[in-house]
Structure 1
């Protein structure tokens, strides 16, 4: 969320319904709201940011909405810029912001005629003072929109907005996905801040996390994507454990699949990095590549994403003399091109210091590409045990990364074994169809309870620090420097 957005590439056509309601959008009238056995549900899926080419929120909305629709539910996505790409005829209702972080003019000042109401003024004022306004301002716009359409939805599903506007009665029960607490990102960036001025800037940018913490404690139904994220939500946000359900997400295993016709490129290592921030650990992978190339000059890295021009990754590349073809960045690729890029690699790598789930790990494994991954956050829940389905290394350890990458590049039989085992693990545990089934079960539980967000409060007593949380803090010691972030 705190990186410059990648070029979105070609967008697919998406249906847009800006005010007729879900019944009209699906060609039949909406029935009465409320629980009714296993009848199809009318779902409003909210996303304040939906770019499927940068970060995980857009990927989540795209695939979950499609699979919920395949189960027979009537899903309408309500989102702001960058708008999500949707499949399977799922309609999109655009709830536009002022799009203050769009490329090529992020942190822009809108023209006078662009202002529509006081929410727009609040959005600009927060940006001008160094804060990130979108979770709050989207929640206020979403509240106004949902109340105007009261009775059209059975359940409202918020994708990590956690804004004040979503508290109270919205006309239907609220389920909220928290992929991981953004307080983790804040903690890691503060640890990497070079001076007091930078620390002050980080604190102001992440001021919205105070709101998210207050809102999270008042939510009746929270969905998260991994056990480690659940632990962080309990500890960092103070949410009562009994209100949290884990539903793993996954890969699109039809798209992300092996294809022997794609030629393997000797020495190719592929990674996805949606943000040039310490959390993603890309700077440690660059250092590992420098170590690796002293013994294997064919080793080279392809990064799906782009670094800040003078950010920590660009500085590391210059520091280690990795010009030319040693490190290449790609952006604006289509889904098919991205999958083929992973298929062509001898090794995929996830070097993150922390992940709430790690879609890149699941997607790489689904192609049958062998994986080197850290043990940061929920990554081991996805990648499996070291030596069985991946090679696992401690987060932030460039030497261990170099050793694991070198071993896989040198051992073809190990690559074949780990690649096949990784694909089997994803098929068994991490598919979007399974995610949709688990999410629909939680919707029905929320309907049975029917308690609006904010009408009762979870305990504010934080849980004892979990081993996972302590490990995350121990890893938060990078030395990167970076400029002011722009959101994905």
Structure 2
């Protein structure tokens, strides 16, 4: 089968989508399929036998606000898609899913490559509705971004912040229209499926659940790496309320009373003048919390392996790669069961309520004080990942769905 994987951005260093694309494409390749990845920037890190087809964009999302206005070029006036992207970003929106759809549809029409199936990685762009008329199409929705939007509105401190988040999430109007019209959708957890049905009004008959895999070769036990005593690690895009980092930071002063050598390493980036930095300064934790971004997978493994405990304080996850990767590395995990996380961690991690700093501090202190409990969760976490989260098994289920959609397309 010749498969084209579509992704509007595929950052290999942060966020779940680049990781997802890298490992799904490799697993499909290992099953004997020919795989192209058709992606906008930032581009993914792929196996050498997988062809990357670049769909360039203006990539203004990566620029500082002060540089976006000056990025205008007169050629934008001759290219409606570029002009839409520039104006959209300039007005505080996020037009990339829409403009990627326009560009990839143009590429597919002009290309001589014929795919047996196309798979969209949550662009949910209008163009998909035309694309699926010509080529069998399956879409993954990791989770409805309406969840992010609602949490950001809850966290907004004033009308300006509410206006800003409403502008940025304007693409949701498109996604809410497109999702119900798609022929086949895959979700990475049952919770994500339920939320897609509720938030996007998708008929349940169109939805399938396939749990993601975890890269168990890269994320594995590294007992030769020395532990830093009382080191906690978490994965969080620092200023995104969805990740719940502020509750973990608020838990730290209580932990430090009993364990003054405790430190927190955050896999993610904090905005220079963002709420997270202000919170850390307000609590006097500048010397106790460090941020680590643009890390390779090997860098992340080493960061996990040098830590005594991992914590996932998320308010919602469609799946939860950070939790799975920590468990695969044998790091005792404390996690909420928000969203799809409960399906990832099961009983192999210590459960805490979301939005509960006191529960987090108590769980951390309990694990620090109990080496037997740490050893237990090290073992059962790794065992769960090996048993339930193999990428090859996930890819086999994807292929079954792909074949069903190809057959449905032919009969219609």
TM tier, shorter chain?
over 0.9
What's the counterpart of residue 429 of structure 1? 388
Q: For 1:166, which of 95, 117, 128 is the aligned residue?
A: 128
- Deviation, 1:224, is 0.7
Q: Partners in 2 of 1:135 and 1:104 — Cα distance?
A: 20
What's the counterpart of residue 360 of structure 2? 401
The change in CA–CA distance for 1:303 and 1:151 in structure 2 (over 3 A counts) is closer
Q: For 1:415, which of 360, 374, 382 is the aligned residue?
A: 374
What's the counterpart of residue 71 of structure 1? 31
The change in CA–CA distance for 1:230 and 1:335 in structure 2 (over 3 A counts) is same
What's the counterpart of residue 261 of structure 2? 298
Q: Partners in 2 of 1:224 and 1:439 — Cα distance?
A: 11
Q: For 2:295, which of 318, 326, 333 is the aligned residue?
A: 333
> Deviation per CA, 1:317-339, whole angstroms, max 9, x where unpaired?
11211122x11112233322210
What's the counterpart of residue 60 of structure 1? 20
> Deviation per CA, 1:189-225, whole angstroms, max 9, x where unpaired?
0111111222122111101001001000101100010
Stretches of structure 1 lacking an aligned partner (at least 5 in a row):
1-40, 456-488
> Deviation per CA, 1:220-242, whole angstroms, max 9, x where unpaired?
10001001000100000000111
Structure 2 counterparts to residues 264-279 of structure 1, below 5 A: 264-279=227-242
Q: Calculate the TM-score normalised by the size of structure 1.
A: 0.81
What's the counterpart of residue 117 of structure 2? 155
Structure 2 counterparts to residues 186-205 of structure 1, below 5 A: 186-205=149-168
Structure 2 counterparts to residues 28-427 of structure 1, below 5 A: 41-103=1-63, 108-109=68-69, 110-112=71-73, 115=76, 117-149=79-111, 152-170=114-132, 171-324=134-287, 326-385=288-347, 389-427=348-386
- Deviation, 1:392, is 0.6
Q: Partners in 1 of 2:105 and 2:238 — Cα distance?
A: 30
Q: Calculate the TM-score normalised by the size of structure 2.
A: 0.96
Q: Is the 8 A contact 1:66 1:88 kept in 2?
A: no
Question: Alignment partner of 2:237: what SS?
Answer: coil
Q: Partners in 2 of 1:103 and 1:281 — Cα distance?
A: 26
Once the two structures are overlaid, the 10-residue window that deviates more, 349-358 or 314-323, is 314-323
Question: Alignment partner of 1:65: what SS?
Answer: helix
> Deviation per CA, 1:394-418, whole angstroms, max 9, x where unpaired?
1110000001111111111100111
The change in CA–CA distance for 1:284 and 1:71 in structure 2 (over 3 A counts) is same
Stretches of structure 2 lacking an aligned partner (at least 5 in a row):
none
Q: Is the 8 A contact 2:244 2:314 kept in 1?
A: yes
- Deviation, 1:88, is 4.3
- Deviation, 1:148, is 2.2
The change in CA–CA distance for 1:62 and 1:105 in structure 2 (over 3 A counts) is farther
> Deviation per CA, 1:18-59, whole angstroms, max 9, x where unpaired?
xxxxxxxxxxxxxxxxxxxxxxx1001000010021111111
- Deviation, 1:292, is 0.7
Give the count of matched residue pairs.
Answer: 409
Q: Partners in 2 of 1:255 and 1:65 — Cα distance?
A: 16
- Deviation, 1:344, is 1.2
Question: Alignment partner of 1:168: what SS?
Answer: helix
Question: Alignment partner of 1:96: what SS?
Answer: coil
Q: Partners in 2 of 1:83 and 1:160 — Cα distance?
A: 16
- Deviation, 1:97, is 0.6
Question: Alignment partner of 1:82: what SS?
Answer: coil
Once the two structures are overlaid, the 10-residue window that deviates more, 209-218 or 432-441, is 432-441
